Amino acid sequence: MQSLPNQHASSTPTPVSVVVPMFNERECVASLMASLAGVEAQLGDRYTFEFVLVDDGSRDETVALLNATIVGRSNYRLVEHGVNRGIGAAIGTGIAAASHEVVVSMDCDGSYDPLLMGELLPLLAEGVSLVTASPYHRAGGVENVPLWRLRLSRLASQLYGLACRHKLSCYTSCFRVYRRSAVVDLQLENPGFVGVAELLCQVLQQGGVVVEHPAMLRSRVAGHSKMRVVRASLGHLRLIGKVVAARLGSVENAATDAAENAEQTLHQLRPAETSANHTTEETPAVQLA
């Protein structure tokens, strides 16, 4: 497959939109802005970046801190939900607001090294819809992550793999690269953490190509996780059930269509068979005469 245009071989950097969802993350603002500056410094020779910071209804000082920090930075934009809708919805809002075809979504809490996008971006080759970071890849890893989060994420990814029949090791990572045109019109039923997995499942259901890349997942640098374990667990189970039901429904519909097509074909063949039989029976009489 062909690599992204204007990359490595060309002197023209590829434009990239970076979407960062945030909810009550005042403790992370300083480290986030420092890491994004590092991304520009390290990868700026290959990519030009716009940063779309999506505040998902924060009730702390997150918005005020962001506004104060991005003053004078023309490639930074703050988009506000006003009310908390969930991380899946925030990523969707960021993708819709993005100016470029190549969109990165990343966590604000430092659980993944933002420079990882330098490894993921080249994998969005022609025909690829989505590239996802995977700590559960055989070459990935996990450090100091709470056991409950690790168990939930691993189990959910295993079940999603069975439901979607795609051998991806992680379905729940927020650190991804999207082809905007492949995902911008997708409608999520789950606006929260489950929506992150739902977005990937929808891409697969539509025949999109997903590539994963090993990553190191670490505990967040500051603040605390907003995930509600029981709610997220039940949401994942419901979504997995819907994915399986949709796949079985597709198989059943395909079998029904095949049976109907076969019956129509038989109906079309019967007159021809009758005509052929009449010809065969009459031919000897003609020859004898």
Can you give the pLDDT at residue 223?
Answer: 57
Q: Which two tokens stand for residue 285?
A: 């009489």
What is the tens place of the pLDDT at every residue in 3-56? 454 454 557 999 999 999 999 999 999 999 999 999 999 999 999 999 999 999
Q: What's the gap between Cα 195 and its chain centre?
A: 9
Contact 31, 221 (CB under 8 A): yes
- What is the pLDDT at residue 232? 81
Query: Which residues 6+ apart lie within 8 Å of 263 measured at CB?
Result: none
The pair phi, psi for residue 213, each rounded to 5°, is -135, 140
Residue 255 has pLDDT above 60, yes or no: no
Give the residue from 104, 111, 24, 37 showing the smallest Cα distance to 65: 24
The Cα 213–Cα 140 span in angstroms is 8
What pLDDT shows up at residue 228? 62
Q: What is the pLDDT of residues 172-222, one digit of tens each?
A: 999 999 999 999 999 999 999 999 999 999 999 999 999 999 999 998 666
Q: Please check whether residue 172 is in contact with residue 249, taking contact to mean a CB–CB distance below 8 angstroms.
A: no
Nearest to 22 by CA among 49, 57, 51: 57
Nearest to 166 by CA among 216, 205, 214, 121: 205
- Cβ neighbour number for residue 34 with a 10 Å cutoff: 11
Is residue 56 within 8 A of residue 167, CB to CB? The reply is: no
